[in-house]
Amino acid sequence: MPLFLESRLIVLATIFKQNREGKLAQGQDAGVYAIETSGLTKSFGKVKAVVGLDLKVEEGALYALLGPNGAGKTTTINLLTTLIGPDKGMAKVAGYDVVKQPGMVRRSIGVTFQEVSLDRNLTGRSLLDIHGRLYQLPQKEIKKRIEQLVELVELQEVLDRPVKTYSGGMKRRLELARGLLTEPSILFLDEPTVGLDPHNRENIWAYLQELRSRGNLTIMLTTHYLDEAEKLADKVGIIDEGKLVVEGSPASLIASLGTDIIKLTGSGDLARFKEALRQQEWIAAFRVASERIKQDGSSIEGASAPVSAPRGVESPETAGKSEETALSEAVEATTTASDMAVEPGGITEILINLTSEAGRSVKPLVDLAEHNGFEVADVSLQRPTLNEVFFKYTGRRLRD
């Protein structure tokens, strides 16, 4: 029977494979980007799924493709993982062309698909073992890696049970382990947390962060959860109707929306500090959010009237509109109220709108506070979310 012959040849195949792996690692160093596409295009009949996509993902980065359903995220993943071929354009993954060297691409990547794609009747262990064999890993290595990965995704106890008995979260975790079994240099995750409860989502996030801390793994994931992209990604690409709409770090995208807000918590001479704040050009506005938080931590809701462009206050002539006048009045009211309410030692929260990026303004702000007798206990940033970024660039809200 040829089958027996084949199993012999597998052994040979595995040995050759190992030799090649050394070369493969060298080949990867040559590529500057882990993933690089230019003009990538794919249509299904009349439907244009991906239109002239240009992407660059640096080695070791976590890149999140963000977009609504049907935006072309999955098609992009399918193209990059060699599942389908492009109509036009070029894509390189781990330095290999997806059309000319699909085999090398496949050796370099791990993939989890959007829909759970596990064989229900196999045990978790058997499923991982089969996967390792598909990549021609030696048996010993497969066994060792299964032990390690199962520990990472916490499936030790169910490993020898059939997959059909697993919960949704366990299946996702098993898929993640399967994607990692071959120690890929690039991991593609298509909606890795879709349909999971918050606890399981956070587990997956934690595994991904743990993985990244271990080595130079590049991850590309798609998601329509904004908080996921914001929490995990170094770089976010917003994709809509097959095109890249905007790209950048979550922070820079958010910053592009406008000013940051710094929240200062502290105590001291509030009136003098407020006066000083009004003098600063780099402060667009500020308001006292809550004040006089007692020592036991419970806060008395202070007046939190929205407030005060300092210039607006100082030059009433520009504040022609009635609402701005109202604002100024509110400022005065707040000022009076808080001045009276705050006893020495009370704690106040002040929200400050900046004209420049928050990162550069924190120190001057803290210095300003301390020079004016206001002791800062805590500083925090409040930023607009990616939700708003998405809306700004696509004109649409994300829907599930």
Partner 1 sequence: MATVLKNRAIAAPKEPGEWNGLLAGIYTLWLKHMRKFRSSPVEVLFTLATPVLWILFFGICMTGMVVPTQTGLGYQAFITPGVMLLTGLTASILGGTTLLLERVNGTLKEYLVAPIPRLAVLLGSMTSGLTKAVLQAIAVLVAGAVLDSTLQFRILPFLAALTIVGVYSLGFVGLASAFASQAKSMESYHSLIMVMNLPVLFISNALYPLEKMPVTIRGLAMLNPTTYGVDACRILLYGSKPEIGLGIDLVVLAAFMVLGIYIGYRSFSSVMQKIGA
Q: What does the binding site for partner 1 look like in residue numbers (CB under 8 A)?
A: 3, 6-7, 9-10, 12-14, 16-17, 20, 44-45, 75, 78, 81-85, 99, 101-104, 106-107, 109, 111, 113, 115-122, 126, 130-131, 133-136, 178
Q: Which is nearer to partner 1, 12 or 340 (CB)?
A: 12
| CB distance 331 to 307 below 8 Å | yes
> Nearer Cβ to partner 1, position 131 or 287?
131
Provide the minimum distance between the beta carbon of 137 and partner 1 in the complex, in angstroms, as a whole number: 10
Which residue's CB is nearer to partner 1, number 118 or number 251?
118
In whole angstroms, the minimum distance from the beta carbon of 97 to partner 1 comes to: 11
Smallest distance, Å, CB 301 to partner 1?
A: 53
CA 192 to chain centre: 12
Residue keyed to tokens 């059939």: 162
User: Where in 151-217 does DSSP place strands (E)?
Assistant: 186-190
Least distance between partner 1 and beta carbon 331 (Å): 59
CA–CA separation, 28 and 186 (whole Å): 11
DSSP class of residue 271 equals H
Q: Which long-range contacts (CB under 8 A, 24 or more apart) does 252-255 make?
A: 253/386, 253/389, 254/383, 254/384, 254/385, 254/386, 254/388, 254/389, 255/357, 255/383
Structure token pair of residue 329 = 């009045």
Closer CB to partner 1, 19 or 295, in the complex? 19
Q: Is 298 exposed, middle or buried (0-12, 13-18, 19+ CB in 10 A)?
A: exposed
Residues 41 and 244: their CA atoms lie apart, in Å, by 12
Toward partner 1, which CB reaches closer, 44 or 282?
44
In the complex, what is the shortest distance from the CB of residue 42 to partner 1, in angstroms, rounded to a whole number? 9
Q: With DSSP H G I counted as helix, E B as strand and the rest as coil, what are the percentages for the chain, rounded to 5?
A: 45, 25, 30
Nearest to partner 1 of 17, 272 (CB atom): 17
User: Which residue lies nearer to partner 1 by CB, 60 or 138?
Assistant: 138
End-to-end CA distance of the chain: 53
